[in-house]
């Protein structure tokens, strides 16, 4: 049975702090192994990638071309979808696209009182690498969630990578690639995919020949990307952490998790299956319910046990519930909010009589699901907002994947003659205070020009 904690128990503080430490997967243990693999990819390129696929995916590609997913494969998979599945994918695509289009960042320009022009320019990155898990299960929904905001941003080259055990890739993932218009994909996962994205290999360096030719030269190898997004296991998360700076990343996401705030008006059947919906993801996933209703707490615990019996992924979900799940009993809803803000869950369901009254008090959550008819699972597929979310308490400083992750920002500055005349002297004063004489002279030299 899932553990039940009472806020009045003597060891509650200790038990609750253990829950808060759920993200402290000891990356230190595997960092040397991950770093060694990344360095091998950096040094040996194609050969290292082929060795990784042979070792972990149990098939034997001879060249890098063998890892490529063809456009014919994606088109064929899409055409072969049954109408019901094709319709579901399209509904998800349209809803996710609509949400992210509304959320796209916009640049701006304004003029100050001296007629200086100031602003910000928003530009898409050139190449984005999206990683889609595929070892234990296949996630076409993750492909939609990562590719669509990149498309909205205007990214020209979106490249997908996913592990393919025994050289088999899920037909739904291929169909989702076609639907998203992704023309470049690779059958490689884990550290190999992250290293390929981050470092590239082969003849991909800039050449001055491009300045003297109207035709774009083709390179042999793989050109590194600008940003890597997408979830993965601890090896993927560690690899992303280690390559950050070489490229940008979305976040370091860990196992899935759900937090639920519920009162006596909640349906215990709904709460039990909602908790299991996250537990079945991964044995390291966590599901935490906080309620001010003792009777509800024990009902949910019992129903979790009953529903586990017939669950297809019972072994995974059971381990998650037993080792990382919890039901916490408190005195009132104010305490539920305080504890949940400390947990900062990836997904938060508020299942109370008046959920919107609590929303303003929630400070840390990746996504918030309000009311009795909003299961977290609807957000995994087609609600619209992104399901790539901060985990392990990182909602305190990370945000959901969005269009902005595929963009860069440039500041725009254009001073007028009047503007430099008014502001050069105070600027020079600040430069002199910092002991940077050339800065001071650079600004003051413009004053001579304004007097002519």
Distance of CA 335 to the CA centre of its chain: 30
Is 256 annotated to bind a ligand? Reply is yes
Tell me if 281 is assigned to a ligand binding site: yes
Catalytic residues: 346-347
Which residues, 6+ apart, have CB-to-CB distance to 379 below 8 Å? 347, 367, 369, 385, 387
* Residue pair 262/291 in contact by the 8 Å Cβ criterion: yes
The rounded distance, in Å, linking the Cα atoms of 129 and 52 is 18
As a whole number of angstroms, the distance between CA 158 and CA 180 comes to 10
Residue 117 to residue 107: CA distance in whole angstroms: 13
Sign of the C-alpha dihedral computed for residues 280, 282, 283 and 284 taken in this order: negative
Structure tokens at 163: 């592990």
Q: Hey, what are 203's tokens? A: 């003849």
* Residues shown for the chain: 452
Residue with tokens 């899935």: 256
**Six-digit token string for 289:** 């319910």
168 is in an annotated binding site: no
264 is in an annotated binding site: no
- Residue 370's alpha-carbon distances to 285, 335, 355, 385, in angstroms, are 22, 18, 6, 14
Q: Are 263 and 291 in contact (CB under 8 A)?
A: yes
Alpha-carbon distances of 334 from 9, 191, 210, 339, 366, rounded to whole Å: 18, 43, 63, 9, 20
Q: Is 439 annotated as a binding residue?
A: yes
Asked whether 372 and 353 are in contact (CB, 8 A), the reply is: no
d(CA 414, CA 427): 15
Residue 434 marked in a binding site: yes
Using DSSP, state whether 420 is helix, strand or coil.
Answer: helix
Residue-wise DSSP of 300-369: HHHHHHHHHTT-TTHHHHHHHHHHH-EEEE-SSHHHHHHHHHHH--SEEEEESSSTHHHHTT----SEEE
- Are 179 and 78 in contact by the 8 Å Cβ rule? The answer is yes
Q: How far apart are CA 314 and CA 93, in angstroms?
A: 30
**78 vs 311: CA distance, rounded Å:** 30
List the binding residues for substrate: 256, 278, 281, 347, 380, 434, 439
List the binding residues for Zn(2+): 278, 281, 380, 439
């Amino acid at each position: 049975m899932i553990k039940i904690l009472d806020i009045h128990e003597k060891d509650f503080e200790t038990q609750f702090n253990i829950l808060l430490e759920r993200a402290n997967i000891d990356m230190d243990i595997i960092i040397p192994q991950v770093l060694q693999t990344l360095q091998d990819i950096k040094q040996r390129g194609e050969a290292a990638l082929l060795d990784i696929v042979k070792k972990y995916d149990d098939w034997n590609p001879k060249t890098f071309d063998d890892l490529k997913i063809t456009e014919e494969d994606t088109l064929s998979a899409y055409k072969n979808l049954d109408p019901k599945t094709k319709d579901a994918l399209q509904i998800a695509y349209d809803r996710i696209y609509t949400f992210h289009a509304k959320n796209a960042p916009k640049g701006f320009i304004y003029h100050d009182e001296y007629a200086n022009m100031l602003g910000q320019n928003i530009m898409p990155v050139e190449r984005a690498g999206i990683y889609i898990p595929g070892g234990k299960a296949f996630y076409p929904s993750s492909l939609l969630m990562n590719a669509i905001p990149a498309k909205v941003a205007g990214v020209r080259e979106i490249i997908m990578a996913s592990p393919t055990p025994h050289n088999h890739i899920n037909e739904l993932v291929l169909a989702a690639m076609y639907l998203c218009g992704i023309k470049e994909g690779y059958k490689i996962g884990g550290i190999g995919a992250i290293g390929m994205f981050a470092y590239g290999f082969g003849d991909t360096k800039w050449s001055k020949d491009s300045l003297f030719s109207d035709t774009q030269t083709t390179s042999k190898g793989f050109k590194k990307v600008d940003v890597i997004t997408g979830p993965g296991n601890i090896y993927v998360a560690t690899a992303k952490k280690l390559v950050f700076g070489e490229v940008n990343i979305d976040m370091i996401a860990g196992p899935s998790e759900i937090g639920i705030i519920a009162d006596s008006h909640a349906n215990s059947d709904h709460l039990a299956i909602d908790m299991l919906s996250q537990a079945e993801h991964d044995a390291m996933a966590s599901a935490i319910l906080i309620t001010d209703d003792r009777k509800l707490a024990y009902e949910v615990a019992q129903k979790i046990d009953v529903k586990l019996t017939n669950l297809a992924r019972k072994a995974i979900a059971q381990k998650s519930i037993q080792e990382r799940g919890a039901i916490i009993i408190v005195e009132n809803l104010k305490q539920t909010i305080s504890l949940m803000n400390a947990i900062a869950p990836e997904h938060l369901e508020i299942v109370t009589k008046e959920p919107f009254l609590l929303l303003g008090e929630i400070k840390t959550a990746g996504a918030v699901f309000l009311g009795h008819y909003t299961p977290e699972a609807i957000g995994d597929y087609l609600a619209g907002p992104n399901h790539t979310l901060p985990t392990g308490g990182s909602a305190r400083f990370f945000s959901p994947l969005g269009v902005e992750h595929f963009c860069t920002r440039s500041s725009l500055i254009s001073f007028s003659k009047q503007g430099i005349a008014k502001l050069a002297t105070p600027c020079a004063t600040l430069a002199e205070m910092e002991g940077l004489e050339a800065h001071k002279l650079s600004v003051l030299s413009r004053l001579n020009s304004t007097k002519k």
